[in-house]
Amino acid sequence: MTRNKIMALQGGGGGPLIGGMPTLDALRRLHPDIGSDYTIPQCWGRYAAAEHAIWRTLFERQLKILPGRACQEFLDGLGKLNLVSDQIPDFEELSEQLQALTGWCVVAVPSLVPDDVFFEHLANRRFPAGQFIRKPEQLGYIEEPDVFHDVFGHVPMLAHPVFADYMQAYGKGGQRALAEFGALKNLARLYWYTVEFGLIEQKDGLRIYGSGIVSSSAESVYAVESPSPNRIGFELERVMRTDYRIDDFQESYFVISSFEELFAETYKDFAALYAKLAAGETYKPGDVLPEDSVLTRGTHTYRAGSHTVI
């Protein structure tokens, strides 16, 4: 397997859509210090040399693949935060740097956290990141978000001021969607097709900003170069009506033209949109609609489940 299959790519927080996470009481047995907000001490000193080595392997692999594929904002974020291959980052040091740039910090959580807890963290500019790192046999494939997906995948974009604001607005929107609208599913799709699997059209061409892509070596190539998936211009309502797969490469990617556009499109009151979304169609992951602005119509030649770029 050559891809992160991450059940809850939303971040260590898990976030929308994921059920079946352990209760706080169950987690307390493994993590006696867990707080009511699900945070735990990172205990950086306790990572073994072999765990730092896994970080290094993954980091070095992505650094070879990402130039010319990831957007400049992501690569700049890695640099600004001094994220390096040597070792798993210490969240305290990382948070200090991030705080100075955009006011965000990174907190450690065991893995998935409930939706309301996830939103509460984002709404307060705290990114919950899985504390553990995957095992050597999970280099390309993992069921839960670990520190590599969460920190390497998500944190560089949080160093970008507009994206940082988008993530906080999303957290607040999540709280509202839960409390007032019962629209979690719609909002989760927005997260999926932007934060996790978003592409952006830049002057040099199509680039990745989604964390689920940048933390996966195979999907980093597939998302940008494979003829198989659809690449469709981002349209808010369309995205919020589109189902997605969590266990295979995406059949469609949605492409924004700038982070400013993404922010402007989403930073408006969703009340009327939620009401509209409650009726009408839901689209399948591979659908192409007559009204779509299609950048690439997929050949759909990817062999499902193979996790291999063709």
Q: Which stretch, 97-105, 168-176, 252-260, 291-299, contacts ligand PHE (CB under 6 A)?
A: 168-176
CA distance 196 to 194: 6
Any residues with CB less than 8 A from the CB of 210 and at least 6 apart, and which? 194, 195, 196, 197, 198, 199, 223
Per-residue x/- track, 4-43, Fe ion (CB under 5 A):
-----x-x--------------------------------
β-pairing verdict for 252-256 and 294-296 = unpaired
Taking the complex as a whole, the smallest distance from the CB of residue 4 to Fe ion amounts, in Å, to 9
Q: Which is nearer to ligand PHE, 50 or 264 (CB)?
A: 264
Instruction: Name the pairing type of β-strands 230-233 and 294-296.
Output: antiparallel
Q: Counting contacts by CB under 6 A, is residue 173 touching ligand PHE? A: yes
Residue 270, contacted partner among Fe ion, ligand PHE, none, CB below 5-8 A by kind: ligand PHE
Judged by beta carbon, residue 78 or residue 277, the one nearer Fe ion is 78
Q: How far is CA 288 from the centre of its chain?
A: 24
Query: Which residues in the 101-130 window bind ligand PHE by CB under 6 A?
Result: none
Least distance in angstroms from the C-beta of 153 to ligand PHE: 19
Residues 137-166 that bind ligand PHE (CB under 6 A): 166
254, amino acid identity: F
Residue 298, contacted partner among Fe ion, ligand PHE, none, CB below 5-8 A by kind: none
CA distance linking residue 195 with residue 70, whole number of Å: 13
Query: Which one, 2 or 266, has the nearer CB to ligand PHE?
Result: 266
Site string for ligand PHE, 13-32 (x = CB under 6 A): --------------------
Smallest distance from the beta carbon of 236 to ligand PHE, in angstroms? 9
Give the distance from CA 161 to its chain's centroid: 17
- Bridge partners of 206? 201
- Strand, coil or helix: what is 291? coil
Which amino acid is residue 124, in one-letter code? N
> Is 227 in contact with 298 (CB distance < 8 Å)?
yes
Which does residue 188 bind out of ligand PHE, Fe ion, none, counting CB within 5 to 8 angstroms by kind? none
SS3 call for 275? helix
Task: Judge residue 78's burial from the number of C-beta atoms within 10 Å of its C-beta, 0-12 exposed, 13-18 middle, 19 or more buried.
Answer: buried
Using rule CB under 5 A, residue 117 touches Fe ion: no
Q: What is the nearest approach in angstroms of ligand PHE to the Cβ of residue 89?
A: 26
- Yes or no: say if 294 and 288 are a contact pair by the CB < 8 Å rule: yes
Site for ligand PHE in 249-288 (CB under 6 A): 266-270
Mark 192-211 with x for binding to Fe ion (rule: CB under 5 A) and - for no binding.
-------------------x
Q: With CB cut-offs between 5 and 8 Å by kind, which of ligand PHE, Fe ion, none does residue 255 bind? A: none
DSSP-assigned letters across all residues of 158-195: HTSHHHHHHHHHHHHHHHHIIIII--HHHHHHHHIIII
* Interface positions with ligand PHE (CB under 6 A): 166, 169-170, 173, 176, 190, 266-270
* Interface positions with Fe ion (CB under 5 A): 9, 11, 211
